[in-house]
Amino acid sequence: MPSVKPQFELSALDAVQWLRDLPTESVDLVVTDPAYESLEKHRAVGTTTRLKHSKSSSNDWFRVFPNSRFGELFAETFRVLKPDTHFYLFCDAETMFVAKPEAEKAGFKFWKPLVWDKQTIGMGYHYRARYEFILFFEKGKRRLNDLGVADIIKEPRIHRGYPAEKPVKVSEVVIGQSSQPGDVVADPFMGSGSVGVAALNLGRRFLGTDLNPDAVAYSAQRLGRLGEGRKPDGVAAAVTPDLFAMMGSRR
Ligand SMILES: C[S@@+](CC[C@H](N)C(=O)[O-])C[C@H]1O[C@@H](n2cnc3c(N)ncnc32)[C@H](O)[C@@H]1O
């Protein structure tokens, strides 16, 4: 029997540590959404309620990745990407000003922020938030697959999802633009695995990690419905009831 490559491979390691273990120039595309520091600020003013403490746990739903680690994150991201590839980073306006120069230092060319238009306003005390950025970077030179796609992606936010879960359709746009079927797409902060679902939907392979074991179990569950893959030993086969309770028992 010929061995079939797994369509996804998941890990529960720290993002940078995980990237360090990947071979140089082995990945075709990185799409990721770190737990950046300013999420804490939104939580502090109560605008990101889903990041509150769980009733049944003393832990926050996920750990924040400090801005001071962006340098090592982007250096490793640049190293693992093949020549002539793209890198997309979900973030807010505040983090964009920190992340852009750090990614440029690592060697990336910054093109522009794409806008994810959530189409409805969120909570808050100022101009009410309706969009997030997706920073578009390039290593070397790569053409987009379709030059007719706009830089604003309209897609409703996810209700009752994993904390800060992104819609699969948003990731499908950038994966469809910057990779080919069979390519390897990586996400070092995979959360609910939405980037992985988009990758598998489009016939790509997926590599992902997250420090939160519940995120890994949940991603494994979602991706397991779409294809064959591997998750780390020791990660529970099932998602804890805590996560589903926090998500409003949606799934
Ligand atoms: C904003 S969420 C990602 C959400 C994801 N894009 C989705 O659609 O579900 C950020 C994730 O980063 C994870 N995280 C925080 N620090 C990390 C680290 N040092 N290494 C890997 N994952 C980390 C958190 O557990 C969280 O699941």
pLDDT at residue 51 in the model:
44
**Quick check: is 2 in a domain?**
no
Ligand 1 atom at shortest distance from the alpha carbon of 212: 25
Lowest pLDDT segment from 3-7, 42-46, 48-52, 140-144? 48-52
Find, among 88, 128, 95, 129, the residue nearest to 112 by Cα: 88
Tell me the residue range of the domain where 37 lies: 8-246
Q: Which two tokens stand for residue 244?
A: 């589903």
Lowest mean pLDDT across 36-50, 65-79, 167-181, 183-197: 36-50
176 in any annotated domain: yes
- The pLDDT tens digits for 6-40 are 799 999 999 999 999 999 999 999 999 999 988 76
Mention every residue, 6+ apart, whose C-beta is less than 8 A from residue 62.
35, 51, 163, 191, 210, 211, 212, 215
Residue 117 lies in a domain: yes
What pLDDT, in 10s, does the model give residues 179-229?
999 999 999 999 999 999 999 999 999 999 999 999 999 999 999 999 999
Is residue 1 situated within a structural domain? no
Q: Return the CATH number at 177.
A: 3.40.50.150
Q: What is the pTM of this model?
A: 0.91
Please give the tally of structural domains in the chain: 1
168 located within any domain: yes
Q: Indicate if ligand 1 lies below 6 Å from the C-beta of 209.
A: yes
Output the pLDDT for position 124.
Answer: 81
Is position 107 within any domain? yes
> Is 112 a domain residue?
yes
Q: Is the CB of 61 under 6 A from ligand 1?
A: no
Q: Say if 60 falls within a structural domain.
A: yes
